[in-house]
Amino acid sequence: MRIGRYDNPYKCVSFDAISPRVRQEPVMLEAADGGISSGVLYTTGRHRTVVCFMHPKADMSRHYAIPAIVDAGFAAFGQNSRWVNNDELCVHETLLLDVAAGLLHLREIGFERIILVGNSGGGSLYAFYQAQATTTPPGRLTHTPAGDALDLNEHDLPAADGFVHMAAHLGEGRILMSMIDPSVTDERDPLSCDLSLDPFHPDNGYQRPPASSHYSPAFVETYRQAQRARVERIDAIARAALGRRGEARTAIGESEFHHRPWAEQAPQLRAAVVCPYIVVYRTEADLRAFDLELDPSQRDAGSLFSYRPDLTNYMEFGFGRVCTPRSWLSTWSGISSNADFLKNAPMIEVPSLVVFYDGDNAIFPSDSRAAFDALGAEDKELFSVPGDHYGFAVGTQERTGARAALDIVNRWLHDHFPV
């Protein structure tokens, strides 16, 4: 049986059909703190509405939606964050400065209306941004979850005019909370296992795909509680590491420190700058990926990337696999992260659209309905279309679902922001 779900979900879209009248302009951006991000702007120069795409990690400069958006008469801006393909260091609060740099640039060059389209991890990122942008200073955040000073009240964060949540989850922290394997008993040992919590043990209800597993309500409840407990455990590891570094920084700030012998200074100086990494094993274990009766949809059995998550759960690839303490707390902790869609969505009051695929193996119907319900906008709509997370027909490499989703997005854009 095939293990990987996709040949390559990123290559099944052509930019060749984009009209030669549409310029594809590389854009380099410097954020207020000096961070560098980049992107590609697709425009004829006459557009007044621009549709933006961004993700904490993924390359959005050639997102599969862009050709259809441009063909519908809108400009498109695919922006890559300073941490493209490197979310090991990703701090969401800092990413908001990258988003702001993009929006400030678009306003400066004449765009009158800016629409944020959050796809996958971009949904919670853009929701976090819009919530902070519409919060009147001094009410914005002043520190990251790691305790680092980053006062968003000091920065210009222009708000967007519309918001689209397209096949988007509720935040990296929330999605990892649902996917993390709670049967891990030793964070240093990827094979450690509490069999009573093992989602792949037949005694707990597991059946190998393509068959659907069947977990009891009692097991599901215990499993979810244990997932939260594991996240709490990793939070404690992250905060302990930051605490040791903080103690060393306090020590080197003492007036007599530089008068001590070098043999006493060196360990403290090193401890003050060290960046220990956290390795989070086994993060492909959402029960809904195996039990099709949990959060029912049109999906097949298996996870986002694999038909055999009982194997890929143990491989080197996985969400949040390697993190710094800062990035874990800001991005991947479902307890500590500020990039929580359900917390930020009530502050999104601009016209909003939620579109989800009914065969998605990572974002389930209850997630999208919760996103819709949480939005603060009075003008909001919810749609589902057939397809998996990337808009392919379930179990195929044919991107039929994406076309249906983008038809809805383009109709909504024309209704709210006429060309």
Contact 334, 173 (CB under 8 A): yes
DSSP label of 289: G
Which tops the pLDDT comparison, 209 or 58?
A: 58
* Strand blocks (E) in 74-168: 75-80, 113-120, 162-168
Contact 210, 301 (CB under 8 A): yes
Please give the share of the chain, as a percent, with pLDDT higher than 90. 89
Angle at Cα 317 formed by Cα 83 and Cα 11, nearest 5°? 70
Measured between alpha carbons, how far is 29 from 14 in angstroms, rounded to an integer?
26
Contact 143, 329 (CB under 8 A): no
Q: State the pLDDT at residue 11.
A: 63
Contact 266, 273 (CB under 8 A): no
Task: Enter the tokens of residue 28.
Answer: 């380099």
Q: State the pLDDT at residue 5.
A: 85
In terms of Cβ atoms closer than 10 Å to its own Cβ (0-12, 13-18, 19+), residue 402 is buried
Measured between alpha carbons, how far is 304 from 70 in angstroms, rounded to an integer?
28
Task: Enter the tokens of residue 397.
Answer: 């490499």
pTM for the model: 0.96
Contact 75, 102 (CB under 8 A): no
Contact 388, 361 (CB under 8 A): yes
Query: Cα 85 to the chain's mean position, in Å?
Result: 12
CA distances from 407 to 57, 342, 400 (A): 26, 26, 11
Establish whether the linkage from the previous residue to 199 is cis, with ω within 30° of 0. no
Measured between alpha carbons, how far is 171 from 333 in angstroms, rounded to an integer?
9
Q: Of 298, 284, 265, 282, give the one whose Cα is nearest residue 385.
A: 298
- Is 336 a residue whose pLDDT tops 90? yes
Where b means 16+ CB within 10 Å and e means fewer, 125-146 reads bbbbbbbbbbbeeeebbeebbb
Taking the CB of residue 103, how many other CB atoms lie within 10 A of it?
23
* Cα-based torsion angle of the residue sequence 169, 174, 180, 182 in order, rounded to the nearest 10 degrees: -150
Averaged pLDDT of the chain: 95
- Is 17 a residue whose pLDDT tops 90? no
**pLDDT tens-place string over residues 126-173:** 999 999 999 999 999 999 999 999 999 999 999 999 999 999 999 999
Q: State the pLDDT at residue 3.
A: 85
Q: Which of 8-17, 67-76, 241-250 has the lowest mean pLDDT?
A: 8-17
Measured between alpha carbons, how far is 224 from 261 in angstroms, rounded to an integer?
52
Task: Enter the tokens of residue 361.
Answer: 């193996």
**pLDDT tens-place string over residues 72-113:** 999 999 999 999 998 889 999 999 999 999 999 999 999 999
Measured between alpha carbons, how far is 130 from 109 in angstroms, rounded to an integer?
21
Angle at Cα 142 formed by Cα 271 and Cα 249, nearest 5°? 15
**57 by DSSP, 3-state: which?**
coil
